[in-house]
Amino acid sequence: MTHYTFPKHFFWGSATSGPQSEGRFPDDGKGDNTWDYWFQQEPHRFHNGIGPDKTSQLYKHFREDIQLLKATGHNSFRTSIQWSRLFPKGTGEVNPEAVAFYNNYIDELLANNIEPFINLYHFDLPMALQEKGGWLNRDAVLAFEHYAKTCFELFGDRVRYWFTQNEPIVPVEYGYLYQGHYPCEVNLNHAIQVGFHSALASSLAIKAYREGKHDGQIGIILNLTPSYPRDPSNPKDVKAAQIADAFFNRSFLDVSVKGHFPKDLVKIIKALNMIPDYQPKDLAIIQQHTVDLLGINYYQPRRIKAKETPLPTNPHIPMPDDYFDYYDMPNKKINPYRGWEIYEKGIYDILINLRDHYGNIPCFIAENGMGVENENRYRNEAGYINDQYRIDFYKDHLRYVHQAITEGANCLGYHVWAGLDCWSWLNSYKNRYGLIEVDLSQNAQRRMKQSGLFFKQLSTQNGFSD
Ligand code: BG6
């Protein structure tokens, strides 16, 4: 039997976000964000027509939910403040209902010995700012700085772990290249400008946090998807994988940890004549305000081969994948519901890369999980979902996390996605991730899953054996 014991004070918990869990209520004073607007315009795009107004209704259930988080062994928990809840117009007047709600939520977590990890931006731009150009407009950066500062002032006396953004590359990719987020453009030039402004916004928030002399740490949460070349001995595949890595990982990783953009990415952007608009002081701000702590979301790797498919003929909109092709590796393990490859060793490779090339920055696994459709079929006689596949998924990844720690990686915790089943953007409630079921057919009733019991044991024992 092997025992996997994790370091003392390891963070065991889960993550969600405001827009995916809270829901909207008539008296809550929340303003529209891009998801609210998009759902009003095109509800058919959202799986089963369930939109951001419903979600898991945590706004009303948070006390009960926190008891469930406690029962599943959480010592820490991440959510995000909804910008459009605190500032219904993105800036201007603060919504007092939001302040009361987040105060009660944070206090309830602390009263139950659950450390709140609070993120500021999880894909949810207030619509009033989107109407003025969104992240393309430098005003959004300044509005974000003000929003961040306000959050630190309101809640920074109790919240010790702050994060500026979750997966900032995702709104860039899906909002401006691959059409999965509003405004659904296909425009690399805009993607680069939005990426730059997001990076600057994060740095300005870090600057504000440090200037406010708050007692805590501030970081960012990045989805790191290691880029593996089809054939590691083929220089063309290796080069292609490095370019994909520059676009999708190092773009925000280098900025956040090292304070500069990756040289190879800048070279490509220069050659395309797409250097974003910026002010001379911006680069110094970015350089001087790097993160204390890095959250890592890991779900899948990226398999890459040298470009084989021809580029479309003119007019051609430049895309990152002009420089590489995706490689469909035979016999890979897959989560069929999400279509994502499951490659457990990827989590180890990320941690070792951070150890060796990013100064072994303190980090933690901020999301890891498995979305499964129709979990009802796994309900046992007692009425609980027996999600052994999720338990196996966690253990298979945790063995590698443990190995990386043994080899010196500075990993401080493991958060799963998600504590409670939550709303997944366009996928709505198609795939469930939770340790705790949310039964939409029964007035959002909550029920522990088998994985919730496992997680409690994992946290209590600070590890597992097998
Ligand atoms: C992460 C996000 O990318 O993955 C979450 O931070 C998201 O917001 C999660 O819900 C799972 O992905 P999906 O697309 O299945 O919801």
Q: Whose CA is nearest to atom 5 of ligand 1?
A: 424
CATH level 2 (architecture), domain 3-465: Alpha-Beta Barrel (3.20)
Per DSSP, helices labelled H in 317-372 are: 345-357
Q: Give the pLDDT confidence score for residue 83 in this predicted structure.
A: 98
Measure the CA–CA gap between 229 and 251, rounded to whole angstroms: 19
Query: Which amino acid does the sequence have at 207?
Result: K
Task: Say which DSSP state 425 is in.
Answer: G
For residue 26, CA distances in Å to 29, 64, 97, 259 come to 7, 21, 11, 43
Per DSSP, helices labelled H in 136-185 are: 138-155, 169-176
Using left for φ > 0, alpha for ψ between -120 and 50, and beta otherwise, residue 232 falls in alpha
Q: Whose CA is nearest to atom 10 of ligand 1?
A: 424
Q: Give the pLDDT confidence score for residue 273 in this predicted structure.
A: 96
Instruction: Confirm whether 341 is a catalytic residue.
Output: no
Is residue 258 classed exposed, middle or buried when 0-12, 13-18 and 19+ CB atoms within 10 A define those classes?
middle
Measure the CA–CA gap between 449 and 397, rounded to whole angstroms: 19
Measure the CA–CA gap between 385 and 438, rounded to whole angstroms: 11
Measure the CA–CA gap between 306 and 231, rounded to whole angstroms: 10
Q: What is the mean pLDDT of each run of 10 residues along the chain (466 residues)?
A: 96 98 96 98 96 94 98 98 98 98 98 98 98 98 98 98 98 97 97 98 98 97 98 98 98 98 98 96 98 98 95 84 97 96 98 98 98 96 96 98 98 98 97 96 93 98 96
3-5/431-432 β-pairing? unpaired
Measure the CA–CA gap between 17 and 81, rounded to whole angstroms: 8
Cis check for the bond before 418: say yes or no (omega within 30 of 0): yes
Q: Give the number of the atom of ligand 1 that is nearest the alpha carbon of residue 371.
A: 15
Tell me which residue of 12, 222, 223, 18 sits closest to 118, measured CA to CA: 18
Measure the CA–CA gap between 145 and 5, rounded to whole angstroms: 40
Q: Give the pLDDT confidence score for residue 372 in this predicted structure.
A: 98
Query: Among 163, 423, 424, which residue has the most ligand 1 atoms within 8 Å of its CB, making it the best to mutate?
Result: 424
Q: Which tokens in the block code for residue 185?
A: 């453009």
What's the whole-model pTM score?
A: 0.97
Active-site pick, 167, 173, 375, 437: 167
Q: Give the number of the atom of ligand 1 that is nearest the alpha carbon of residue 123.
A: 8
Sequence-distant (≥ 6) Cβ neighbours of residue 461 within 8 angstroms: none
Question: Residues 388, 389, 391, 396: what is their CA dihedral angle, to the nearest 10 degrees?
Answer: 140
Tell me which residue of 11, 184, 188 sits closest to 113, measured CA to CA: 11
11-15/340-341 β-pairing? unpaired
Measure the CA–CA gap between 67 and 227, rounded to whole angstroms: 39
Q: Which tokens in the block code for residue 195?
A: 């990426």
Ligand 1 center from residue 17 Cα (angstroms): 10
Instruction: Confirm whether 167 is a catalytic residue.
Output: yes
**Three-state DSSP class for 295?**
strand
Q: Give the pLDDT confidence score for residue 184 in this predicted structure.
A: 96
| Ligand 1 site, CB within 6 A | 17, 20, 166-167, 223, 297, 338, 367, 371, 417, 424-425, 427, 431
Q: Give the number of the atom of ligand 1 that is nearest the alpha carbon of residue 17.
A: 8
Ligand 1 center from residue 145 Cα (angstroms): 25
Active-site pick, 341, 367, 375, 437: 367
The answer to whether residues 74 and 138 touch, using CB atoms and an 8 Å cutoff, is no
Q: Give the pLDDT confidence score for residue 260 in this predicted structure.
A: 98
Query: Among 367, 390, 431, which residue has the most ligand 1 atoms within 8 Å of its CB, making it the best to mutate?
Result: 367
Domain locations along the chain: 3-465
Question: Residues 106, 210, 203, 175: what is their CA dihedral angle, to the nearest 10 degrees?
Answer: 10
